[in-house]
Chains A and B, each alone.
Chain A
Amino acid sequence: MAVSVLSLQRISKTFQRGTANENPVLRDLSLEVNNGDFITIIGGNGSGKSTLLNSIAGNVLVDSGRIKINEDDVTKIKEERRAGRVGRVFQDPLMGTAPRMTVGENLAIALRRGQKRTFKLGTNTKEQAHFKSLLEPLNLGLENRLNTEMGLLSGGQRQSITLLMATMKRPELLLLDEHTAALDPKTAETVLRLTQQLVEKDHLSTLMITHNMQDALTYGNRMIMMNRGKIVVDVSGEEKSRLTVPDVMSLFQKATAGDQLSNEMLFS
């Protein structure tokens, strides 16, 4: 039995609890993530995918259940105290970087993810040289733009840097919330390939939400499908690699049978 890097034990979350708009987003959801798993997550709008990642990262605290990262119970620990363990990339390329700070300053912040900030110098030339060597393989010409303000870069460039920032200090978990959805198809592919490289290089345990079923099949060793706050399909290894997009579609039909919301599914 492989070691669980993440263990979700019957977690539930309801938004606006006790009001007419009460909205249960996660219902008794359990999940064990093995060390080195690269899991793709699919599911319709409102199925709870993003809330799932937010619960793991800690910017949403669950109502009940337990969350353990590498055996440590983090259920009640705040987002900024979990940050040392969790690397994140958001859907909005503007979300993961500070626009008025330079590329180098952003990376220096990321190098200290989860560390206590002191009166030590925020960065130094040795670090900057290291950043340069990390940026070079991206082939985006960013290695010479360490002193450029982040806000001047394109969405794809910013998202690539955000990926670096999330992984340069090895996270125990990498959470990707549709991180290519806001990019044009070509840039999205580049960023996905970079994701794959980084994940493989450091054997990162990764959860990636995507709206693209082909991507969900192409990437990762395991795929889960969510519907109405629960995991309805969980396939991995060989079983996953044999799946095709039509297979997934029919799996989805089956899982959501009788579910009125199913026709609102927005798969591309």
Chain B
Amino acid sequence: MDLIVTATSQGLLWGTMALGIFITYRILNLPDMTAEGSFPLGAAVTTQLIINGMDPFLATAVSFVSGMLAGAITGILITKGKVPGLLAGILTMTGLYSINLRIMNRANLSLLGESRVTDIFRSFELPSQFDSIFLGLIIVTVVILLLALFFKTELGQAVIATGDNEKMARAMGITTNRTKILGLMLSNGIIAMSGGLVAQDNGYADISMGIGVIVIGLAAVIIGEVVFGNLSFVNRLICVILGAIIYRLIILLVILLGLNPNDLKLISAILLAICLALPSLRNALQLNFFTRKERMD
């Protein structure tokens, strides 16, 4: 039971981040490495602002804006600078490492004794971790609703069309450079905000907390798709969150089995590799099956 509670609380906060990854990886069709920099950026901004006395909610909102700026830089590199997408993300992410250090002034910044967004639940005297779960549920619901709404607008549809068929989008008069930048800003805004929330949940921001963010986000997206299949847009977003929770559950189980926590990233990577390769593995197996059957005929 404890396991499920922990997985849910973490999965909800990290799932928000995965929604950001979903926007770039699935909607824009552009794997964006910026996430590894914008996630700790959000954490750094939120933590530093809270320590300096800002309201935690406002600080979290500012982290969203900081992420949007990071996304804009990657977007401009891709569209105006014609830098390949993957490389543009790596450039921004690398630059952000120094910026994050500047913001935090050190490698690790603690929120001990400071106020956090989860404080609003204090008066309810919830059992441990349930404050994070409630917060996560609220955030995830709001983000999914807003995303669903946005992607129903003309602008949102234009972003989807850009990722789905850029040539067609341009022929229809969509300024794909702008829609790409917009999508990247939205994605990294959400990722940075999630970074800010995770930092408040952990009680600290750390310069290295961005490492592996992409893999975690993609794992949530892919697990959601593999488990729940092809669905409508809003359901796909919900599945990303469920995927993030399942991913957390698997990781916690692995640790319970007595594996060294230092191997976690390796396990994450292997897990994602398996999920990514699953469709082609399945095809290969089916193909094998068919050819054998034909031979029998």
Contacts and interface: CB of A to CB of B under 8 A. Distances in A.
> Which of A59, A109, A115 has the most chain B CB atoms inside 10 A of its CB?
A109
B165 A120 contact: no
B158 A109 contact: yes
Query: SS class of chain B's interface: helix, strand, loop or mixed?
Result: helix
A46 interface: no
A99 B167 CA distance: 12
A113 interface: yes
Nearest to B157: A122
Contacts of B157: 101, 105, 108-109, 117, 122-123
A90 B166 CA distance: 13
B68 interface: no
A101 to B, nearest CB: 6
B176 A80 contact: yes
Contacts of B153: 117-122
Contacts of B174: 80, 83, 109, 117
Interface in A79-108: 79-81, 83-84, 88, 90, 94-101, 105, 108
B172 A122 contact: no
Contact of A83 (B150, B152, B170): B170
Given A95-B165, A118-B153, A101 B173 contact: no
Given A105-B157, A121-B152, A115 B173 contact: yes
Q: Determine the interface band of chain A, counting residues with CB < 8 A from chain B.
A: 20 to 34
A101 B152 contact: no
A118 B154 contact: yes
Nearest to A112: B154
B156 to A, nearest CB: 7
Contacts of B285: none
A88 B171 contact: yes
B154 A79 contact: no
A187 to B, nearest CB: 20
A84 B176 CA distance: 15
A113 B168 CA distance: 11
A117 B171 contact: no
Contacts of A81: 173
Contacts of B158: 109, 117
B164 interface: yes
A98 B164 contact: yes
Contacts of B108: none
> Which of A90, A94, A98, A117 has the most chain B CB atoms inside 10 A of its CB?
A117
B77 interface: no
Nearest to B165: A98
A118 B157 CA distance: 10
Contact of B169 (A90, A98, A105, A122): A98
B65 to A, nearest CB: 19
Nearest to B159: A117
B165 A80 contact: no
7 contacts: A80-B173, A97-B165, A100-B160, A101-B160, A110-B172, A119-B150, A121-B153
Interface of B: 150, 152-158, 160-161, 164-165, 167-176
Given A83-B172, A83-B173, 9 more contacts: A57-B171, A80-B176, A96-B168, A98-B165, A112-B173, A114-B172, A117-B157, A122-B152, A165-B172
Q: List the 4 closest pairs (A to B, CB-CB), nearest first.
A: A83-B173, A98-B164, A114-B173, A122-B157
